[in-house]
Amino acid sequence: MATCSVGGRQGSAQITSSTAISPVSPFYFTESLSVLRCYIPLLRAKEDVDDPLHDVAAQFLDKVLQDPAAFVRTLAKEYVQCTQKELPLEVLRDMSIATMWSKQHALEQLVMLEVLFRLAWNLVPASGPVVVQLVQTAYETDLGQNQLYVSLLLQDEGAEILQDVECVWLVLLVEAFNLEKVLEDDTLKLVAFHQDASTILSASQQLALVHNLVVCANDPRYGPITLAWACVLFRPHTAAEEQDAIPENYEAFIHRIAFVPESDPPMPLYHHILMWALHSDVDVLRRLETLLNQLGARVTSLAWISGSALTEPNAIAFRAIVEGT
């Protein structure tokens, strides 16, 4: 059985139930994960000019990631495939082996997300197509919970992996929305053709696509993403109020987010979404508190205790997103 592919390449030859429990299996699993994990320190080194490995990392990544945005799209598609990858019948006959391989696939998904986060953090601009790809992937897979063999991942280590996956999805999408730039840029003008494509606001069609996905998710688990999206909507709403004319390609979207007629009193959609996120049934503040204090993405000691599979627990980039939100 082959592991999930990485960058279009399969990670292994065929593995049967007899070889899956051989002494070499742990080594094989570790090496499969290392194929992707090697990107994480390289991406971190490239973004820090003072890092001793900065020049080496930059040269290597410039060769293997000639089109980082295309790599993001490819990796996101392979992530989806990995969540639905079937196990051979000979493996499924032994639940312990099937569980072992299901955990391996989940671990590979987690590392894919860590790489995607690093790419979104500093290398790949949050352009419309990139953000759409990430949001579609997150919602299609239900933040990583939509697994073909989810029943094999509900206990102990498997559940911890899925929790880490969901956590990384939350911080990844918040980063993809580029809130820092969106909220700080109070000079935004809605124009037919934006010169700056570093935020989702520059692409009217993709803006509408992401909006449709975000507002249709009523599960409180998506609360932090929905809250972040309310912040995104604030900027085009206020920009539209200050402009004499709205470009034709933004008219329908601006009209849609202007006011919520059924609200009393009528309020802008971003305000309505904010009120939803703060409602006790959603309790997004408690969800954020959980991210701050309980998950391995921010608390190293907890990551060690719980056996978190994150490559870099409590990474500065993770902390910056969670604490900033």
pLDDT 10s digits, 20-34: 556 677 788 888 898
Q: Is residue 211 part of a domain?
A: no
Q: Residue 39 sits in which domain range?
A: 1-148
Q: How many domains does the chain have?
A: 1
Q: Is residue 183 part of a domain?
A: no
Q: Is residue 69 part of a domain?
A: yes
Identify the pLDDT of residue 12. Answer: 41
Tokens 């053709």 belong to 193
Cα 248 from Cα 105, distance rounded (Å): 45
Identify the pLDDT of residue 299. Answer: 52
Q: What DSSP designation does 141 have?
A: T
Q: Is residue 314 part of a domain?
A: no
Cα 239 from Cα 276, distance rounded (Å): 23
Cα 278 from Cα 286, distance rounded (Å): 10
Q: Is residue 241 part of a domain?
A: no
Angle at 310 between CA 304 and CA 313, to 5 degrees: 60
Label residue 173 exposed, middle or buried (CB < 10 Å: 0-12, 13-18, 19+): buried
Identify the pLDDT of residue 194. Answer: 80
Cα 52 from Cα 41, distance rounded (Å): 12
The full 3-state SS of 61-128, as one line of letters, equals HHHHCCCHHHHHHHHHHHHHHHHCCCCCHHHHCCHHHHHHHHHHHHHHHHHHHHHHHHHHHHHCCCCH
The pTM (predicted TM-score) of the whole model is 0.88
User: What is the radius of gyration, based on Cα positions, of the chain?
Assistant: 21
Identify the pLDDT of residue 253. Answer: 96
Identify the pLDDT of residue 170. Answer: 92
The pLDDT tens digits of the residues spanning 261-309 come to: 777 778 999 999 999 998 888 889 888 877 766 555 545 544 444 446 6
Identify the pLDDT of residue 292. Answer: 67
Cα 42 from Cα 54, distance rounded (Å): 8
The amino acid at residue 169 is: W
Answer positive or negative: Cα dihedral of 67, 211, 187, 178. Answer: negative
Q: What is the pLDDT along the chain (325 residues), one digit of tens a residue?
A: 445 655 444 444 345 544 555 667 778 888 889 888 999 999 999 989 999 999 999 999 999 999 999 999 999 999 999 999 998 888 888 898 889 889 999 999 999 999 999 999 888 988 899 999 999 999 999 999 999 999 999 988 899 899 889 989 999 999 999 998 898 888 888 888 887 788 899 999 999 999 999 999 989 999 999 999 999 999 999 999 999 999 999 999 999 999 887 777 789 999 999 999 988 888 898 888 777 665 555 455 444 444 466 777 656 666 667 665 5
Q: Is residue 132 part of a domain?
A: yes
Q: Is residue 206 part of a domain?
A: no
Identify the pLDDT of residue 1. Answer: 41
3-state SS, residue 267: strand
Which stretches of 149-283 are DSSP H helices?
156-176, 179-184, 204-215, 223-242, 248-258, 269-278
Which residues lie across from 267 on neighbouring strands? Answer: 260
Cα 53 from Cα 45, distance rounded (Å): 6
Q: Is residue 22 part of a domain?
A: yes
